[in-house]
Amino acid sequence: MQFDKPATTNPIDRLKVVGQPVHRIDGQLKATGRAKYAYEWHDPNVPYVYGYPVGAAIAKGHIVSMDVSAAKEAPGVLAVVTALDVGERKKGKFNTAKLFGGSEIQHYHQAVAVVVAETFEQARAAAALVRVEYAEEIGAFDLKDAMKTAIKPKDVGGAPPDTAVGDFDGAFKAAPVSFDATYTTPDQSHSMMEPHASIAVWDGEALTIWTSAQMIDWWRSDLATTLDVEKEKIHLMSPFIGGGFGGKLFLRADAVLAAFGAKAARRPVKVALPRPFMVNNTTHRPATIQRVRIAAEHTGKITAIGHESWSGDLPGGQLETAAMQTRLLYAGENRMTAMRLATLDLAEGNAMRAPGEAPGMMALEIAMDEMAEKLDIDPVEFRIINDTQVDPEKPERPFSHRDLVSCLRLGAERFGWSDRGRPASRREGNWLIGLGVAAAFRNNLLVPSAARVRLDHEGVITVETDMTDIGTGSYTIIAQTAAEMMGVPIEKVVVRLGDSRFPVSAGSGGQFGANCSTTGVYAACVKLREAIAQKLGFNSEDATFENGEVRSGNRSVPLAEAAGSEGLAGEDTVEWAKLADSHQQSTFGAHFVEVGVDIATGESRIRRMLAVCAAGRILNPITARSQVVGAMTMGVGSALSEELAVDVGRGFFVNHDLAGYEVPVHADIPHQEVIFMDETDPYSSPMKAKGIAELGLCGVSAAIANAIYNATGVRVREYPITLDKLIGGLPDVT
Amino acid sequence: MSKMHIKLTVNGKPVELLAEPRELLIHVLREELSITGPHIGCETTHCGACTIDMDGRSIKSCTVFAAQANGANVTTIEGLGTPDGLHVLQTMFKEHHGLQCGFCTPGMITRAYRLLQENPDPTEEEVRFGMSGNLCRCTGYQNIVKAILAAAAELNAVKEAAQ
């Protein structure tokens, strides 16, 4: 199916199942602990053995030699495979750092060996016996230094690194009110609950692998490249995934090590990355340094807006696109954005939930708060004054649907925004209380997605697509889509996901999964409806699918009967034509936060949070709300505690576990509320839905930062806002 | 490495096994007994995905040796309810959408089970503090707290009706 015209009325609009608060269809499995994640795909008949990784002890350099003799002789050891043994390998298309192979060390904890043994304990003990001699080289680990030699890349994910409209410098100088500040965001860790894990089983040249992957086809292709086997020989499965947030978008070392280990040991091998490897062996969200400049008239109308961002990555890597949203979010005749990439020899920087916008909004939305204060205009009003209904860099391009203003107004009303006072003006006992606001913004991305839908003689609809459910609710919304399209109750739908034997879907990433994968299912259902109509001699345009029957004129036939003993199937791929060229598709929202800051200790506590989101049709208010609440919670960590601390001497992230990388806990999150705007976006898809999962994170940390400023009068521009950054500026306790 | 003879009760069933002194309880449960509801998340006692109930206490089984469980009575998520006979906490986690990816859920429910034994009628704040050793990275915490409060209310109603 080519989606090339805005959607008109279609069977989804019935909203009998889609849009309804349907409980997760995988809830039972998960609440009973019976959902099987990658590491526990137990088959009692398969004699699994265990692989344990060895990571590089230096950040940059070469392996001179490796001594694995002690490891090989250790009890239970079946095989030791080193990076030197497997030699240089072709790298997967989506990987910047190589995962395994060759003597070069690009970052700390890059895999240098895997030890396979009969038991986990034996493998771990023997891994400690592997001796490696390195030739260490000097690396770059400090972004503040490395930014001086940062380069301008040719393009950033298909977009230019710089944009300029009008005369930014002239307008900035001429404006009656202007503001210029620099912000920093730290390296962050996805820290999903499930560590990367894989089980690899070889049968001759064919490899079966269970792993934890957000993108089945990307992993399969890149694993084939790295192993140098035919892609068709690899069967890859990820039916349940314990969170990803971008950390499982691209092939990871556990899959490669399990495959090499299994080959060498001639046994099925399980490999889980130990938690510290998740930080220094895999990817993380890169730190940024961002400069934001805003100039405006006294009325609050922005006349110039500029956003520059610096981030680092390994050679050949990519930058964090933190200035991207500033191209679209606010009006202003004169504008500039620029993004620069520094070389850093830390682990690979890559996508983490809302790459670009999450750290970009952390800076931009503090700057908007600071500018509003300078103008003496309410920050909600300041944003509304500068709303735009067109792409401000290309005014001929309207937004497909943009309701940021309603999000801000409704949120302000519901949250009691009018109670907000001047900075440091409200105190309850030891607590300084403040309110903060920020806009939320994230683009809506469109990715091809395929599915196969079968109808059997019992009237059961089975959907097969390699789409993944990383906790988002894909199983459920896909079942809802098929039920709606085929006119059956959701109990009649079986959803099978995360298997490379199924048609290639959008996968889970970039908040495109829900809209794109359900549209792929929609397209396959259209094909199945046509097949059913054709078999019955109905005109598929006139056929109505309802109550488990297909009806045309006076004739109606139960689906089970229509299927016959052979059953019927439909398969299709949605492809997206150039609708997004003429109309900018984005999602919008507003975050409101109330914090308390302890006047004596500088400790910040969230008191309540509200997000109002405008993201097209909400396919399932239960799962969508949960996505936003989860994102808001991640935003609390991002604002207050999450920071990978870089050892700039040795070149690694020091706090590489959940002891040192602090994510929010129950007690940190007292109250959260989410409101969805009742809207549809016919430009996005026949589902008229857009992404929601990342929108909930974009802006929330800035809203917290702004609330802390309102509470204390202390402006912190370096995330996370820990008490040491506040305490010197707090009012006297008495 | 010499092995130790360990006897314990897991989900009501007596179990005897040989384990090395270095074997962690979580590995014995998962790899030897195929009880894979408790998950390994952090390996440092911080995330609680491996939470089990041992002799009337919530225990993070990733930092307890199997040998320390000798003679113990262990309950995991598998012992709290079955697919046909869910524990009320399991029902409430489902109904209140107290889960997303589900990886933390078995530990979360097992901890909540003990919390409600310790404090059968907790306030919302007591639930938040009592559950703070169990991390969730994707669902946020609102619905987990709701599910536990709803389960407490249900359990208390049943208890009252019985009296």
Of B36, B139, B145, the CB nearest to A40: B36
| Arithmetic mean of pLDDT over chain A | 97
Q: Flag if B103 and A626 touch (Cβ within 8 Å).
A: no
- End-to-end CA gap in chain B: 55
Determine the Cα–Cα distance for residues A128 and A160; give it in Å rounded to an integer: 47
**Residue B127 and residue A275: Cβ atoms within 8 Å?**
no
The DSSP-derived string for A238-266 is -S--S--TTTTSS--HHHHHHHHHHHHHT
B120 touches A at CB < 8 Å = no
Please tell me whether residues B52 and B12 are part of one structural domain.
Answer: yes
| Contact between B128 and A622 using a beta-carbon 8 Å cutoff | no
**Residue A159 per-residue DSSP state:** B
Question: How many C-beta neighbours within 10 Å does residue A228 have?
Answer: 9
pLDDT digit string, tens, across residues A358-374? 999 999 999 999 999 99
Residues of chain A with pLDDT under 50: none
Single residue among B80, B100, B118 that ends a domain in this structure: B80
Query: Would you tell me which residues 3-42 of chain B have a C-beta closer than 8 angstroms to some C-beta of chain A?
Result: 20, 22-23, 27, 30-31, 34, 36-42
Contact A678, A614 (CB under 8 A): no
Here the CATH number for the domain that contains residue B141 is: 1.10.150.120
Q: How many residues does chain A have?
A: 734
Q: Which helix (H) or strand (E) holds A529?
A: helix A513-536
Gap between the Cα atoms of A292 and A307, Å rounded: 5
Q: ∠ at Cα A351 (A387, A582), nearest 5°?
A: 40
Q: Do A666 and B1 touch (CB under 8 A)?
A: no
A667 with B34: Cβ contact below 8 A: no
Residue type, B145: V
pLDDT at residue A546 in the model: 97
* Residue A669 to residue A245: CA distance in whole angstroms: 20
The three-state secondary structure class of A207 is: strand
Within 8 A of A656 by CB-CB distance, chain B residues are none
Are residues B149 and B122 both part of a single domain?
yes
In DSSP notation, A579-625 reads HHHHSB-EEEEEEEEEEEEETTT--EEEEEEEEEEE-BB-S-HHHHH
CA distances from A643 to A244, A657, A663 (A): 18, 12, 10
Is residue B8 located within the same domain as residue B76? yes
Same-domain status, B42 and B101: no
Angle of CA points A420, A423, A427, to nearest 5°: 75
Residue among A666, A668, A673, A694 with most chain B CBs within 10 A, to mutate = A666
CA distance A630 to A423: 29
CA distance A249 to chain B (A): 16
Contact B46 A240 (CB under 8 A): no
Q: Are A2 and B65 in contact (CB under 8 A)?
A: no
- List chain A residues with CB under 8 Å of B104: 193, 242
Q: Do both B60 and B116 map to the same domain? A: no
Last residue of a domain, one of B21, B53, B80: B80
Which of A20, A30, A46 best probes binding to B when mutated, by most B CB atoms within 10 angstroms?
A: A30
The type of residue at B38 is: P
CATH numbers and ranges of domains, chain A? 2-35+446-580 (3.30.365.10), 378-444+585-729 (3.30.365.10)
Q: What's the whole-model pTM score?
A: 0.98
Q: Would you call A40 a catalytic residue per the annotation?
A: no
Q: In which band, very low, low, confident or very high, does the pLDDT at B1 lie, cut at 50, 70 and 90?
A: confident
B41 & B65 share domain? yes
Q: What are phi and psi of A349, to 5 degrees?
A: -85, 135
Which chain A residues touch B128 with a CB distance below 8 Å? 666-667, 669-670
Q: At A442, phi and psi to the nearest 5?
A: -155, 135
* Pairing outcome for strands A431-443 and A586-598: antiparallel
At A621 the pLDDT is 98
**Can you read off the two tokens belonging to residue A83?**
């990076």
Are A472 and B100 inside 8 Å of each other by CB? yes
Read off the amino acid at residue A20.
Q
Q: Are residues B74 and B105 in the same domain?
A: no
State the DSSP code for A354: S
Largest CA distance in chain A: 85
User: What pLDDT is attached to residue A729?
Assistant: 94
**Helix H or strand E encompassing A31:** helix A27-31
Number of domains into which chain B is organized:
2
**B67 plus B8 within the same structural domain:** yes
Same domain membership, residue B101 and residue B70: no
pLDDT reported for residue A702: 98
**Which residues make beta-bridge pairs with A676?**
A613
In this structure, is the dihedral angle defined by the CA atoms of residues A702, A408, A621 and B93, taken in order, positive or negative? positive
Summarize pLDDT for A437-463 with one digit per residue, the tens: 999 999 999 999 999 999 999 999 999
To the nearest whole angstrom, how far is the Cα of A246 from the nearest Cα of chain B? 12
Q: What is the mean pLDDT of residues B77-87?
A: 93
* Interface contact B141-A37, CB threshold 8 A: no
Q: Is A491 exposed, middle or buried (0-12, 13-18, 19+ CB in 10 A)?
A: exposed
Chain A residue with minimum CA distance to B38? A33
Catalytic annotation, pick one of A365, A370, A571, A694: A694
Of residues A32, A245, A630, nearest to B90 (C-beta)? A32
Chain B segment 142-161 residues within 8 A of A by beta carbon are: 142-145
Closest to A434 in 3D by CA, of A456, A419, A449, A446: A419
Model pLDDT for residues B101-151, shown as the tens digit of each residue: 999 999 999 999 999 999 999 999 999 999 999 999 999 999 999 999 999
The reported pLDDT for the residue numbered A128 is 98
Please tell me the distance in Å from A608's CA to the nearest CA on chain B.
12
ipTM value > 0.95: yes
Nearest CB to B140 within list A243, A633, A667: A633
What phi and psi values does residue A367 have, to the nearest 5 degrees? Answer: -60, -40
Exposure of A342 by Cβ count < 10 A (0-12 exposed, 13-18 middle, 19+ buried)? buried
Are residues B14 and B67 both part of a single domain?
Answer: yes
B136 touches chain A (CB under 8 A): yes
Q: How many angstroms away from the CA of A258 is the closest CA of chain B?
A: 17
Residue B75 at interface with chain A, using a CB cutoff of 8 Å:
no
- Domain boundary residue, one of B26, B50, B80: B80
- Calculate what percentage of chain A has a pLDDT beyond 70: 100
> Measured in Å, how far apart are chain A's first and last C-alpha atoms?
69
Do A726 and A602 contact (CB within 8 A), yes or no?
yes
- DSSP-assigned beta bridge partners for residue A431: A428, A598
For an interface test with B, the pick among A48, A591, A665 (most B C-beta atoms closer than 10 Å) comes out as: A665
Please tell me whether residues B101 and B73 are part of one structural domain. no
pLDDT tens digits, one per residue of B28-57: 999 999 999 999 999 999 999 999 999 999
Instruction: Kindly tell me the sign of the dihedral angle through the C-alpha atoms of B149, B153, B159, B163.
Output: positive
CATH of the domain at B13: 3.10.20.30
Question: A311 pairs with which residues across the strands?
Answer: A288, A341
Task: Please tell me the distance in Å from A551's CA to the nearest CA on chain B.
Answer: 35
Range of the domain at B61: 4-80
Q: Do B75 and B94 fall into the same domain?
A: no
- Our CA-based measurement puts residue B33 at a distance from the nearest CA of chain A, in whole angstroms, of 10
Let me know: does A409 contact A381? Beta carbons within 8 Å: no
Residue A672 is nearest to which of B40, B42, B142, comparing CB atoms? B142
Q: How far apart (Å, rounded) are the C-alpha atoms in residues A83 and A105? A: 10
Is the CB of A242 less than 8 angstroms away from the CB of B142? no
